[in-house]
Chain A
Amino acid sequence: MLIDVNAYLGHWPFRKLRHNTASALLRLMDKKGIDQAWVSSASAVLYKNPQAANEDLGAETRKHRDRLVPFAVLNPTYADWEYDLDQCATEFDCKGIRLYPDYHNYKLTDSSCHELVAAATERKLLVSIPLRATDARQRHWLISIEDMRAADIVPLIRRFPDARFVLLNGLGYTGCDLGKPGVDLPANYWIEISRLSAVLQAEMRMLLDNVGKSRLVFGTGMPFKYPDPSLVKLEVLEATKSEIEAIRWKNAHALLPA
C-alpha cells in the first residue's frame, strides 16, 4: 500500500504539466505503484476565484474517489469562502483544504486564516499547507513569491491543537520547533517527505528520531514533479520496516481511514 498526500490535477499557468488529468494521473500511479493520491487543483492557486477550479476537481475525481481524494484550495480573503467550503465538503467530498497564503495575499497569523482553519477543523477536514508551490528560483517574471519557512507555521500549530495539519513541499523542520525533540507542541501535524533528504543531511532519519515514525507521510508533488525521487528515498532511508510502512501509508491512512 502506498498513499501520496501531495498530488495535483489541473493546469499551472507557468509551465505545461503532464499527467494532470484524473485518467493520466491514475495511469502514472499504476506505473509507480501508488494506490491513492490526495489531490488539489493546481489551477486554483492562481485563479482569483479558486472555487471554479475546485468544481473542476470535484468533477474530475467524482468517479475515482477511492484513489483520488480531493482537497479544496480556498482563499479566506475571497468573498463567501464559507459557501465554497461547504460545497467542497458536501458536494465534492473533499477531505481537506490546502492553503496558499502567499499566493492569496494573506498571512497565517491573519484572523481570516484562523477562521478558515477553525471552520475546516470543525468539519474534521485536514489542513494542508504547501511551503512552496514550485522552486522560487524558476519563478515567472510576473510573480515574486518566496518559500514559506517551516517556523512560520508553528504559531498556527499551537493555536489550533484540534486541527490536523499536513505540511507539504517543505524542509528544514529539524531547524525549528516542528522537528526538534522534546518541544511542547501539539501532535497535530504531519510532515510530507518530497523535499526531505534521505541521505547526506538525512533529515528524514533525524525527524524519525526526533518526533517519531507516526509523523512522516509519503508524498511526491506529482505531476509537478517526478514521483520517483520520493520512491528512491524509501529505498535508501535507514529505517526499520515498521518505520517505512508508517511513512508509505499507515500514517496517511490513519488520518483518512477509508
Chain B
Amino acid sequence: MVIDCHAHLAHHTSADWEEADRRLIEAADKLGIDQLCCSTLTPRRPAEPAGFREANDFTYQAMQRYPDRVLGYCYVNPGWRDPALDEIRRCVEELGFIGIKLYNEYRADEPVAYPVAELAIELRVPILYHAGHSHYFDTVQPRISDGGMIARLADCYPEAALICGHVGGGGDWEWTLKALRRAPSVSLDTSGSVVDDGMIELAAATLGADRLLFGCDMSMTAGVGKLRGAELSAADKRKILGTNMQKILTRRGSSC
C-alpha cells in the first residue's frame, strides 16, 4: 500500500478543476500510488469560515468521485476558533475525513492552534502542518510554521499526531531534521519539489524511518523519485511509503 500523505485538489473556481483532479488520479495510477490524502485550499487566504467550508465540500465531493483513492483533510483557519472546530467535527464525524490541514495563517506554536490540537487528540486524527524554514524573512508567508514550532506544539500536546509538511518544500531541510529530532510524536512528510541527494537517508538516520511519511505535494515524480533513490532497506521504504501512515489512520479507524 502506497499512501501519498500530502496532496491537494483543485478549487472549483479554477476553470479546469475537474481535469486537474483527474490528472492527479492518473498520475497516481502511473506512479503506483494507491491513496492520496488531499486537502482543498481556498484561493484567497487567510480563509474565512464560508470559504473553508466550501473548500472542504469540494474535498468531500472528490472523496465521492474517487472512493478509496482520495482521503480528505479538513482545511481550516484556526483563527476562526469556533467555526473551525465545528467544521473539523463536521468533516471528521459526519463526512469521514481522515485529518486536519493547517496552512500558514498562524504559526504552530501560537495559542490559537491549541484548541485544534485538543480536538485532533479527541477525534484521533492527524494534523498536517504546512511548514518550512528559511534563513530569511518570508514576506509572502510571514507566519509559516517550521519544525521547531511544530515541535513546541508537540511538547504541549504529546498525544497529538502532528505531521510536519514537505521536508522537500524548499527550506533548509537539515535544520528541520535537527529541530524535530527531540519531538518523537511529530512525523515528517517527504514531499516537495526539492530532491537533494541524501535528504531521505539523513531524515531516516535523524528521526527514524518510523517517523517518515511518503508524500508528493503535487511534485509527483520528485516524491516518488527521491524515495526510490534513497539508500534505505526495503522494509524501511515500505514503512515510509505506506505503513506509517496506515498506523496514523488506524488511530481513528479510518479505512485505508
Q: Does A19 lie at the interface of the complex (its beta carbon under 8 Å from any beta carbon of B)?
A: yes
Q: Does B24 lie at the interface of the complex (its beta carbon under 8 Å from any beta carbon of A)?
A: yes
Contact in complex: A236, B197 (CB < 8 Å): no
Contact in complex: B194, A135 (CB < 8 Å): yes
What are the residues of chain A within 8 A of B23 when measuring CB–CB? 199-200, 202
A199 and B23 CA atoms in complex are apart in Å by 8
Q: Which partner residue on chain A sits nearest B176 by CB separation?
A: A138
Q: Please provide the chain A residues from 1 to 54 with a CB less than 8 Å away from any CB of chain B in the complex.
A: 15-19
Contact in complex: A229, B229 (CB < 8 Å): yes
What are the residues of chain A within 8 A of B20 when measuring CB–CB? 200
Q: Does B123 lie at the interface of the complex (its beta carbon under 8 Å from any beta carbon of A)?
A: no
Contact in complex: A135, B229 (CB < 8 Å): no
A227 and B195 CA atoms in complex are apart in Å by 9
Q: Which partner residue on chain B sits nearest A140 by CB separation?
A: B135
Q: Which partner residue on chain A sits nearest B31 by CB separation?
A: A236
Contact in complex: B224, A229 (CB < 8 Å): yes
Q: Please tell me the size bucket of the interface on B.
A: 20 to 34
User: Smallest CB–CB gap between A187 and chain B, Å?
Assistant: 27
Contact in complex: B194, A138 (CB < 8 Å): yes
Q: Which partner residue on chain A sits nearest B23 by CB separation?
A: A200
A221 and B230 CA atoms in complex are apart in Å by 15
Stretch at the interface among B72-80, B100-108, B167-175: B167-175
Q: Does B228 lie at the interface of the complex (its beta carbon under 8 Å from any beta carbon of A)?
A: yes
Can you list 21 contacts pairing A with B, beta carbon distance less than 8 Å?
Answer: A135-B170, A135-B194, A137-B132, A137-B169, A137-B171, A138-B170, A198-B221, A199-B31, A200-B218, A200-B220, A202-B23, A221-B195, A225-B197, A226-B195, A226-B230, A227-B229, A229-B222, A229-B226, A229-B229, A230-B221, A231-B228
Q: Which partner residue on chain B sits nearest A19 by CB separation?
A: B197
Which of these, B27, B197, B226, contacts A200 with CB under 8 Å? B27
Q: Please provide the chain B residues from 146 to 190 with a CB less than 8 Å away from any CB of chain A in the complex.
A: 169-174
Contact in complex: A224, B226 (CB < 8 Å): no
User: Smallest CB–CB gap between B154 and chain A, Å?
Assistant: 23
A19 and B198 CA atoms in complex are apart in Å by 10
Interchain residue pairs A-B with the least CB separation, the first 9: A229-B225, A137-B170, A226-B229, A228-B229, A199-B27, A228-B225, A141-B135, A232-B225, A232-B221
What are the residues of chain B within 8 A of A144 when measuring CB–CB? 136
Q: Which partner residue on chain A sits nearest B192 by CB separation?
A: A135
A233 and B222 CA atoms in complex are apart in Å by 9
What are the residues of chain A within 8 A of B26 when measuring CB–CB? 199
What are the residues of chain B within 8 A of A198 when measuring CB–CB? 220-221
Which of these, B172, B194, B225, contacts A231 with CB under 8 Å? B225
Contact in complex: A199, B135 (CB < 8 Å): no
Contact in complex: A138, B229 (CB < 8 Å): no
Which of these, A138, A139, A226, contacts B226 with CB under 8 Å? A226
Q: Does A70 lie at the interface of the complex (its beta carbon under 8 Å from any beta carbon of B)?
A: no
A225 and B225 CA atoms in complex are apart in Å by 10
Q: Does B196 lie at the interface of the complex (its beta carbon under 8 Å from any beta carbon of A)?
A: yes
User: Smallest CB–CB gap between B208 and chain A, Å?
Assistant: 21
A144 and B137 CA atoms in complex are apart in Å by 12
A233 and B229 CA atoms in complex are apart in Å by 13
Contact in complex: B31, A223 (CB < 8 Å): no
What are the residues of chain B within 8 A of A197 when measuring CB–CB? 220-221
Given contacts A199-B26, A231-B225, A232-B224, contact A225 B196 (CB under 8 A): yes
A225 and B218 CA atoms in complex are apart in Å by 18
